[in-house]
Structure formats: C-alpha cells, structure tokens
Amino acid sequence: MKVFRTAFLLTALTLVLLTIGGAVGGRNGMTIALLFAAVGNFIAYFFSDKIALMSSGAQPVSREELPRLYEVMERLAAKANLPVPKLYVIPEAAPNAFATGRNPSHASVAVTQGLMQLMNDEELEGVIAHELSHVRNYDILISSIAATIAGAITHLAFMGRFAAIFGYGGSRDNDREGGGLTALLMLFLAPFAAMLLQMGLSRQREYAADETGARIIGQPYGLISALQKLGAYNQRIPSNIPQTTSALCIVKPLFGGGSIFSSLFSTHPPLEDRIAALRELTVTRPG
C-alpha cells in the first residue's frame, strides 16, 4: 500500500507537469515539460546529496572524533543490512539530522552538534534508525525527483503566465471554446497542486521512516522520546539549515518564526501525530 501511494503521488505530479506543458505550448509544451523533468531528475540523482551537505555546512567526521555516533550507526546498519553511510556533523545548536544520497551505496547521514549533546543513547538510536530507514526506502531519491518535477511545474507555469501577459505561445486548441481561459486557470492552479502533492509525499515518507526505524530497533520508545525532545528544542532554537534542505530533516527546523500557512503547508506531519502512530505500532523485537 505504501509503495502504491508513493507511485500514485509521483504519477500525479508527472501528469500535472504534462498538463501544464500542454497548457503552455500544446504538444511541444509537453515535450519541453518532459525535457525539464529529465534534466532536473539527472541533476537530482547525482548532485542533490552534495548540495544538501554543502548548503547546511556539514563537515565529515571521523571515528576518532565521534566514536559514539559511529558505534550506533554501524550496529544499526548491520541490523538493517545496509552499508554504513558517510557521517557528517553540522556545527549548530538546534538538534536535528538528515540523510541524503541517491542509494544505500552512496548515502550520507548528517547530525547537528546539538543533537549529539541532547540525545541519550536510546534517543540517538531512534534518530539514526529513522535516517537509515530513509536510506533503505530510497526516500531521498524519491523526494528529490518529486521536488524536481514540482520545480519544473512552477517554472513552466511562470513562463506560461509571462507568455499569456504578452500574448505569446499557446496551442491552437486553447484559442477555441474557452480553452484559453482553462489554460490560464491551469497556469495558476498547477503550482499549488504540485506543492500539495509534493508535501503529501514528503509527509507519507516521514511516517514510513518512523515505522521502519522502530522495527529496525525492535521498539518505538527511543524514537518517541527523541521526537518529543526534538520538537521542544526546535521550537526555541533557530536553525541555520537552509529551507531548501529542511524537508530532509527528521523534524522541521525553526527559521526564526513561523505562520499559520507554514504550519498548514508543511513537508512534515505534526509531531503529535507521528508520536501517536508510533505508540499504536506493534513491534516484535528481533530474536
């Protein structure tokens, strides 16, 4: 069911992209839209991890510098039957973590200094299991593709609105029977629809990573406690992680204030909902 939901959301995003391409330039517009997606996905596949690590200020860390992190990571990676990701530390006080990389063999996990200072061993284990779940489920690649398609939709819609204002472009079909009005409406609604689909996909993958992480460990209590602590501290300590990378984080960082709209249109589910789902989860400890 989870795989089906992911496939459905990605398919819906692609259909929106093709529709907006058709609205901008008919069949040629669809071709341009597909090229946008192909180029964007190529960049996302090979470079999104480097961009996320560099933009957040993450620095590689050795076993000698942070043996506690390596011990937890190596133990849980063995449980999950995954290669040990490259490990990074972000020099900031707000506790958080994220995983990135196109597949398990090219994965990286970054944690903040604040997270290492504030989490006890059980909580740290819960956070790392959550991030390894993203790696095992290829969530980083899926999210990068979704973000790329959504970005292409937004750019095409902007181009279409610009063309409409100055009287350029459009297909012949759009000039008949109110097609022009429909196309113009699509140019405004498509980016909003793409944003909703992208956020829905992101929230779904967070729930799935919570569940998979709890199953890797054999109990949800460390992750529950970690999420409670992360929520409390991230409401008080602003983060330097850029907003473009924040969707990868285990909890949404604080960027010096929020609004009702930022809460409604969030890439992360409400923490209380995630915690409630973990409390209801039945987990059998590995033998």
What is the set of active-site residues? 131
Whether residue 257 contacts residue 234, with contact meaning beta carbons closer than 8 Å, is answered with no
Which secondary-structure segment (H or E) carries 98?
strand 97-100
Tokens of 249: 């984080």
Residue in 265, 56, 13 with CA at minimum distance from that of residue 143: 13
Taking the C-alpha atoms of residue 125 and residue 27, their distance in angstroms, rounded to an integer, is 51
Tokens of 15: 């259909």
Residue in 272, 140, 48 with CA at minimum distance from that of residue 263: 272
Which secondary-structure segment (H or E) carries 194?
helix 179-217
